[in-house]
Amino acid sequence: MEDNSQTPNFQYSEPSEGSQEHYANHIQMFWTGVDVTLVFGKLLHSSEDISQNILSVENRFKITFPWSVAKLIAGSLAQSVAKYEQRNGEVKLPGEYKLP
């Protein structure tokens, strides 16, 4: 009987055009019984928005994945944040958004 319990060795590659990079400072989450969808966006500030006390968000990209992957991401993020805070101190969560 063959033992298939070994951890696989992942081999990563980049597409010929390179990986896409995006910046997001806003996130929305939606889910179904099967999948989780994260919509990443960027907060935009215009003088008109500021005068009207409005936060505008430009949705940049969306990623959908199964719940099992969501659980893996949650665990990895929790470990990474804990390691970061051990080295750099507590990460402060933003309070209510205050427009400049």
Q: Where are the domains of the chain?
A: 26-88
pLDDT tens track for 39-97? 999 988 766 666 777 778 899 999 999 999 999 999 999 999 999 999 999 888 776 55
Indicate if the pLDDT at residue 99 is higher than 90.
no
Percent helix, percent strand, percent coil in the chain, to nearest 5: 25, 25, 45
Tell me which residue of 64, 56, 70, 69 sits closest to 99, measured CA to CA.
56
